[in-house]
Amino acid sequence: MSKLTPFHAAVPVHDLEAARKFYHEVLGCAEGRTDELWTDFDLYGHQFVIHYKPKPEGDPKHHTNPVDGHDVPVPHFGVVLEWDEWEKLAERLKNFGVKFIIEPYIRFKGLPGEQATMFFTDPSGNALEFKAFKDMGQLFAK
């Protein structure tokens, strides 16, 4: 595998203060540069930015696709963590009372790509997935 470099992602949030608190206090991301309409975070070494966008009218629902007996929200984003780091994050989220879309569990048991995964949303409804592989060599397994 080639050397990974940090990705950059920016997502809309309708409440900057709630999002700042969530990404900093709940996920434990260090806060970087900030402005009245956006904030940079260090999301496990990646540049992640929240940008203010007014809340849309109505109650938009996530589209989902069935995967391994669960309804996976689309779109979603997250980070592939080391196994022990994933376990620590799952425990941290539980301790903060985060409501999971899909509770932490092991997906594809005994198959190529076996992984730990969990899904939840930020305060603006952005869906996140954090996962881990016991064997990182299985990340792109068929």
Structure tokens at 86: 């994933």
CA distance 107 to 117: 7
pTM: 0.92
pLDDT at 54 over 90: yes
pLDDT 10s digits, 87-141: 999 999 999 999 999 999 998 888 888 899 999 999 999 999 999 998 888 888 7
Report residue 37: phi and psi, to 5°. -120, 0
From start to end of the chain, where are the E strands? 8-13, 30-34, 38-43, 46-52, 63-67, 70-74, 80-81, 100-107, 115-121, 127-132
Sign of the four-CA dihedral 37, 64, 60, 130? negative
pLDDT 10s digits, 29-45: 999 999 999 999 999 99
SS3 state at 45:
coil
Query: So where are the chain's domains?
Result: 8-55+64-138
CATH homologous superfamily of 8-55+64-138? 2,3-Dihydroxybiphenyl 1,2-Dioxygenase, domain 1 (3.10.180.10)
User: Using 50, 70 and 90 to split pLDDT, how confident is the model at 2?
Assistant: low
Residue 78 Cα to chain centre, angstroms: 3
Cα–Cα distances in angstroms (integers) from residue 24 to residues 7, 28, 104, in the given order: 19, 5, 21
Q: Is 87 exposed, middle or buried (0-12, 13-18, 19+ CB in 10 A)?
A: middle
